[in-house]
């Protein structure tokens, strides 16, 4: 059975697979080198316990900031949430932070307008995704943010420049972002419980989807635009 349509696509597929494996191995080595207590659940919980009852609040605010300022990948923090708080509480704290950050980004863009967004976002993102939210509507936005690796944080700002209402936008973001974040948090919970194989397999799946989403942004964008839903 022919899997790839051309030699070029075959080479590209092999390259993406190698990138996924490399990222998977690099993640494991970095965790072992810089945060070895991640693999020792008891020590990790003692460390986070230093924040006491403020630990969930601190984490939620950090997740909020990553949407607005974007110095840390949201999926990485979702993984940490699974380590620290377990799959249920971790999902709640992680999603609360992400949704709060999304609402802030949307509201800031709505309040301060295009000039504010142009100062924050890279010109390339503006060129490729300007007016995208208006073009795809509610179902298309849900499908778009469902895929990891796409610039969904930037979309929050760009959506604020449209006629969308915050309430409608937040419903789309909640539905779209829920699966990937819950999966990542669950992976962190698996690692914290000592089920390293299961946890790393889940992380590998998220990384693979993220790599695919990142390198196929334009293809996915065009496909979403053509959806008749």
Segment 179-209, tens digit of pLDDT: 888 888 888 888 777 787 887 888 778 777 7
Establish if 214 belongs to a structural domain.
Answer: yes
Residue 88 or residue 205, greater confidence: 88
Is residue 106 assigned to a domain? yes
Distance CA 159, CA 125 (A): 13
pLDDT, residue 1, reads 39
Q: Single out the residue of 136, 118, 138 nearest to residue 127, CA to CA.
A: 118
Other beta carbons within 10 Å of 73: 14
If residue 121 lies in a helix (H) or strand (E), which one and from where to where? none
pLDDT of res. 99:
92
Q: Are 63 and 98 in contact (CB under 8 A)?
A: yes
d(C-alpha 5, C-alpha 134), whole Å: 34
Count of structural domains within the chain: 1
Residue 64 covered by a domain: yes
Domain that holds residue 70: 39-226
Which range is most confident: 91-105, 112-126, 149-163, 192-206? Answer: 91-105
- Token pair 């839903």 in the structure block, residue: 229
Mean pLDDT of 24-38: 60
Q: Is 136 domain-assigned?
A: yes
What integer best gives the mean pLDDT of the chain?
A: 76
| pLDDT: which is higher, 193 or 60 | 60
Let me know if residue 193 belongs to a domain.
yes
Instruction: Count the neighbouring beta carbons within 10 Å of the beta carbon of residue 208.
Output: 19
In a domain, 10, yes or no: no
Which letter does DSSP use for residue 49 in this model? Answer: G
Distance separating alpha carbons of residues 46 and 144, to the nearest angstrom: 38
- Supply 20's token pair: 């996924």
Average the pLDDT over 166-189 and give the result. 88
Taken in order 214, 219, 223, 224, the sign of the CA dihedral is: positive
Band the pLDDT of 96: cuts 50, 70, 90. very high
User: What string of DSSP letters covers 4-49?
Assistant: -SSHHHHHHHHHHHHHHHHHHHHHHHHHHHH-GGGG-HHHHHHHHG
Position 184 in a domain: yes
For residue 197, tell me if it sits in a domain.
yes
The rounded distance, in Å, linking the Cα atoms of 109 and 217 is 23
Q: What pLDDT does 76 receive?
A: 75
């Amino acid at each position: 059975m022919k899997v790839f349509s051309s030699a070029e696509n075959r080479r590209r597929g092999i390259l993406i697979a190698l990138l996924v494996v490399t990222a998977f191995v690099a993640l494991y080595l970095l965790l072992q080198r810089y945060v070895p207590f991640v693999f020792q659940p008891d020590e990790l919980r003692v460390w986070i316990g230093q924040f006491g009852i403020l630990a969930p609040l601190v984490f939620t605010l950090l997740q909020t900031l990553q949407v607005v300022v974007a110095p840390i990948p949201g999926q990485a923090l979702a993984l940490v949430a699974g380590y620290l708080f377990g799959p249920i509480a971790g999902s709640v704290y992680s999603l609360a932070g992400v949704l709060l950050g999304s609402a802030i980004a949307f509201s800031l863009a709505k309040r301060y307008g295009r000039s504010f967004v142009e100062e924050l976002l890279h010109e390339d993102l503006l060129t490729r995704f300007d007016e995208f939210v208006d073009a795809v509507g509610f179902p298309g936005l849900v499908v778009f943010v469902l895929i990891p690796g796409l610039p969904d944080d930037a979309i929050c700002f760009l959506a604020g420049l449209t006629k969308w209402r915050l309430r409608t936008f937040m419903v789309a973001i909640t539905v779209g972002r829920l699966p990937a974040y819950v999966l990542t948090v669950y992976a962190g919970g698996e690692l914290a419980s000592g089920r390293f194989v299961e946890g790393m397999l889940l992380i590998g799946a998220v990384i693979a989807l993220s790599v695919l989403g990142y390198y196929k942004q334009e293809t996915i964008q065009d496909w979403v635009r053509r959806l008749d839903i």
